[in-house]
Amino acid sequence: MSMNSFGHLFRVTTWGESHGPALGATVDGCPPGVALEPEMLQVWLDKRRPGQDKNMTQRNEADEVRILSGVYEGKTTGTPIQLMIENTDQRSKDYGEIEKTFRPGHADITYWQKYGIRDPRGGGRSSARETAARVAAGGVAREVLKALVPGLEVKGYMTQMGELHLDRSKFDWDAIDTNPFWLPDASAAKDWEAYLQKIRTDENDSVGAAIEVVVRGAPAGLGAPVYAKLDTDLAAAMMSINAVKGVEIGEGMAAAALRGTTNADEIFMGENGPEYSSNHAGGILGGISTGQDIVVRFAVKPTSSILTPRKSITKAGEPIEVVTKGRHDPCVGIRAVPVGEAMAACVVLDHLLMDRAQTGGDRGKIG
């Protein structure tokens, strides 16, 4: 076991603190012979990068990823791929005063209690900056998936930010990349932006969000019984992202309100195999993919790093009021979109490799 690793066969170990010299991911188990250049990863890191938009923290990081191993002449060799991102804009003085203080809603207090030591610079290991390493690793997974399952797509978007909800009747897959909220409804983006600016600027506050990630084009048969269910691994992957408090597959928590007569997706025979009347299941039955869209959703809590003062204590146990003046996202859910995509890509590839190991990729015949 490794506490900082995920995946069974496509195995990612991340390392690094927010304000250390660098952070990164070690990707083990990658299939050989897959084309891989830093630019293929950089595009996803740029999507997650802070400082590029007024909706995000103003910390300015290039987030330039280097491939230190596992690639020869532009192709993966099957050996571990080390992805390193150097930290350039560290400004650790911003964080000096909080060394003796526990910010409410942060890992400051629990890290201190557990380890008796913590790196206070930018949250150290508990910083959302760790997700850059995931995005880089997810970029590798995407390239392998492209080689093994042409046409497979992994796409994330926001479905909720505070009081605002995505209007699913206006769902437009092609709109997702056209607005800073990765919103599948371009018409709503302006309202979302105004709402977020008001929260940040007028109210010195932050807000939560819900993100949905869809994997389209995955074959039936991915997943495994009981504790390596595809949905189990997706749930773990998403819950491991900073600030995530809930994970749903298909109907998710709403399934508690449903009846058996409406929940089960009916099956029909299509030209290319089974088809379904609906997708309440989120593309997974018994932990194994059906071939439909795999749908996973997660909620991100509002960041506690806000300008409004909050009560807390110091290491000495003295009461204190905490105001976080640093550079922080008013809605970390925006940047969680590429992170969620990266995790989904890694999990699906991992299961593709596991399936290939056990079954050779053969499928039971229908029709």
Closer CB to a copy of itself, residue 180 or residue 246?
Answer: 246
Shortest distance (Å) from residue 151 CB to a copy of itself? 18
Closer CB to a copy of itself, residue 137 or residue 176?
Answer: 137
Closer CB to a copy of itself, residue 179 or residue 305?
Answer: 305
Is residue 91 within 8 Å of residue 117, measured between CB atoms? Answer: no
Shortest distance (Å) from residue 196 CB to a copy of itself? 12
Residue among 208, 239, 238 at smallest CA distance from 304: 208
Closer CB to a copy of itself, residue 175 or residue 353?
Answer: 353
Shortest distance (Å) from residue 293 CB to a copy of itself? 15
Closer CB to a copy of itself, residue 341 or residue 355?
Answer: 355
Residue among 123, 191, 182, 164 at smallest CA distance from 327: 123
Cα(12)–Cα(350) distance, integer angstroms: 10
Closer CB to a copy of itself, residue 43 or residue 258?
Answer: 258
Shortest distance (Å) from residue 19 CB to a copy of itself? 10
Shortest distance (Å) from residue 326 CB to a copy of itself? 14
Is residue 337 within 8 Å of residue 211, measured between CB atoms? Answer: yes
Place of tokens 């188990």: 29
User: Distances from the Cα of 209 to the Cαs of 283, 288, 303, in angstroms?
Assistant: 23, 28, 10
Residue burial 277-287, b: 16+ Cβ < 10 Å; e: rest: eebbbbbbbeb
Closer CB to a copy of itself, residue 216 or residue 280?
Answer: 280
Is residue 234 within 8 Å of residue 156, measured between CB atoms? Answer: no
End-to-end CA distance of the chain: 42
Shortest distance (Å) from residue 286 CB to a copy of itself? 2
Closer CB to a copy of itself, residue 116 or residue 151?
Answer: 116
Closer CB to a copy of itself, residue 62 or residue 264?
Answer: 264
Provide CB contacts within 8 A for 22, sequence distance 6+.
16, 84, 85, 86, 87
Neighbours of 96 (CB within 10 A): 10
Q: What type of residue is 158? A: M
Cα(182)–Cα(334) distance, integer angstroms: 8
Shortest distance (Å) from residue 317 CB to a copy of itself? 3
Neighbours of 148 (CB within 10 A): 16
DSSP 78-123: SSPEEEEEE-----GGGGGGGGGB--TTSSHHHHHHHHS----GGG
Closer CB to a copy of itself, residue 40 or residue 128?
Answer: 128
Shortest distance (Å) from residue 43 CB to a copy of itself? 22
Shortest distance (Å) from residue 333 CB to a copy of itself? 7
| β-pair type (273-276, 267-270) | antiparallel
Phi, psi of 154 (to 5 degrees): -120, 120
- 364: tokens are 């039971």
Shortest distance (Å) from residue 169 CB to a copy of itself? 20
